[in-house]
């Protein structure tokens, strides 16, 4: 059921991109957007891990360079029945982590230096278990494609806005209607964001549950989430909003009304669900 929901959401994102292209550029715009979506989906399948890791300056580390992280990841991978992923460290003081890669055989986990210095071994095991659960569920590829398509929709809307500023308001047989184009410029990025949020939020709950089972202690992950949330609030990360959903907690600072548009479920609810898994 969850996989069907994800397929429908991803289809919705692709159709939204095509509709945006049609509204802004007529038949030619629709075809261009469709081809663009296909190229992006193929490109992100093969290169998503390299793109995201390079974006944050992540450096692959060996066992000799990071023995504790390697030993935790290896132990948890064996428990989860997964191949050993590559291990990366991001030279950033904000505590956070994410996983990337197109499948379990080509996966990587990345942690910031901030998270390594903040968490205990048990708490770090909970976090890495969460990331391995994402790998096992094949969430990371879906999330990266969602981010890419959503970003393309926003970019298309921005291009249309600039085009209209500089005399692109034509209503011919090949171009889109200007009124429809204006509506699409406003609504398409919002719809893309909502679809991206729906994909991300549902996956986080499942990864929390799966990660707690892999690590063997739901309370360790619950404590880690509380620490990470406070750490990010004190020291927000200079992260690309399109990739925010990939981190275990949102790297962006925000509260109040902005939490309604967060790619992550509320920390309080995630902690509550993890605590409910404990059998006394």
168-205 CB burial, b ≥16 within 10 A, e <16: beeeeeebbebeebbebbeebbebbbebbbbbbbbbbe
Predicted confidence pLDDT, tens digits, the chain (280 residues): 445 655 666 666 667 667 666 666 666 766 776 777 667 667 766 776 888 899 899 999 999 999 999 999 999 999 999 999 999 999 999 999 999 888 899 999 999 999 999 999 999 999 999 999 999 988 876 666 666 666 666 666 666 555 555 555 444 444 555 665 566 566 666 665 665 565 667 789 999 999 999 999 999 999 999 999 999 999 999 887 777 888 999 898 655 444 445 668 899 999 999 999 987 6
**Residue 88's pLDDT is what?**
98
Res 98: pLDDT: 95
Q: What is the pLDDT of residue 21?
A: 67
Q: What is the pTM of this model?
A: 0.75
pLDDT reported for residue 180: 56
105 is known as an active-site residue: no
Beta strands in the chain (DSSP E): 59-60, 86-90, 97-101, 107-112
- The tokens for 276 are 């409910």
Given the residues 122, 123, 131, 209, the one annotated as active site: 131
Closest residue by Cα to residue 101 from 71, 65, 148, 143: 143
Q: What is the pLDDT of residue 258?
A: 45
User: Which residues, in sequence order, are CB contacts of 268 under 8 Å at separation 6+?
Assistant: none
User: What per-residue confidence (pLDDT) applies to 62?
Assistant: 96
For residue 230, what are the CA distances in angstroms to 189, 218, 242, 267?
30, 19, 22, 10
Domain positions in the chain are 2-276
């Amino acid at each position: 059921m969850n996989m069907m929901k994800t397929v429908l959401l991803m289809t919705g994102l692709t159709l939204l991109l095509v509709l945006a292209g049609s509204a802004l550029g007529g038949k030619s715009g629709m075809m261009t957007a469709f081809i663009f979506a296909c190229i992006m989906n193929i490109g992100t399948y093969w290169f998503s891990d390299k793109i995201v890791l390079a974006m944050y300056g992540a450096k692959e580390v060996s066992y000799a360079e990071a023995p504790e992280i390697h030993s935790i990841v290896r132990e948890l991978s064996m428990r989860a029945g997964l191949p050993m992923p590559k291990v990366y460290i991001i030279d950033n003081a904000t505590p956070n982590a994410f996983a990337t890669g197109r499948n379990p055989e080509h996966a990587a986990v990345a942690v910031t230096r901030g998270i390594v210095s903040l968490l205990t071994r048990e708490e770090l095991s909970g976090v890495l278990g969460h990331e391995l659960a994402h790998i096992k569920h094949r969430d990371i590829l879906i999330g990266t494609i969602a981010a890419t398509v959503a970003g393309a929709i926003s970019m298309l809307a921005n291009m249309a806005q600039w085009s209209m500023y500089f005399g692109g308001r034509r209503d011919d047989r090949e171009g889109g209607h200007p009124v429809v184009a204006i509506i699409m410029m406003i609504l398409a990025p919002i719809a893309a964001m909502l679809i991206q949020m729906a994909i991300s939020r549902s996956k986080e709950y499942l990864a929390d549950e799966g990660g707690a089972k892999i690590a063997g202690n739901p309370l360790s992950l619950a404590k880690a989430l509380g620490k990470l949330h406070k750490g990010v609030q004190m020291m927000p990360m200079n992260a690309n909003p399109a990739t925010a959903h990939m981190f275990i907690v949102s790297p962006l600072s925000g509260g109040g009304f902005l939490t309604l548009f967060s790619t992550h479920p509320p920390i309080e609810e995630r902690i509550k669900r993890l605590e409910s898994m404990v059998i006394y």
